[in-house]
Amino acid sequence: MKERPILFSGPMVRAILEGRKTMTRRVVKPQFRNSTEERFFREEQPTYLCPFGIPSQKLWVRETWLDDGETKDSPQWIYRADNENYPRNEGQNWKSSIFMPRAASRILLEVVSVRVERLQDITEEDAMAEGAELYDNHDGTFGGYGAPMTYRESFHLLWQSINGPDSWDQNPWVWVVEFRKIEQE
**Is residue 181 within 8 Å of 112, Cβ to Cβ?**
no
Q: What is the per-residue pLDDT for 35?
A: 57
Q: Residues in the chain with pLDDT < 70?
A: 33-46, 135-148
Residue 148 lies inside a defined structural domain of this protein: no
Residue 128 lies inside a defined structural domain of this protein: no
Total of domains in the chain = 1
Cα 155 to Cα 49, 97, 145, distances in angstroms = 25, 22, 18
Please say whether the dihedral angle defined by the alpha carbons of residues 99, 103, 104 and 110, taken in this order, is positive or negative: positive
Q: What is the per-residue pLDDT for 38?
A: 45
Which residue type, as a one-letter code, is found at position 63? E
Residue 114 lies inside a defined structural domain of this protein: yes
Q: Report if pTM > 0.75.
A: yes
Residue 45 lies inside a defined structural domain of this protein: yes
Residue 166 lies inside a defined structural domain of this protein: no
Residue 9 lies inside a defined structural domain of this protein: yes
Q: What is the per-residue pLDDT for 130?
A: 98
Residue 162 lies inside a defined structural domain of this protein: no
Q: What is the per-residue pLDDT for 111?
A: 98
Q: What is the per-residue pLDDT for 116?
A: 96
Residue 58 lies inside a defined structural domain of this protein: yes
Structural domain boundaries, residue 78: 4-121+172-182
Q: What is the per-residue pLDDT for 39?
A: 47
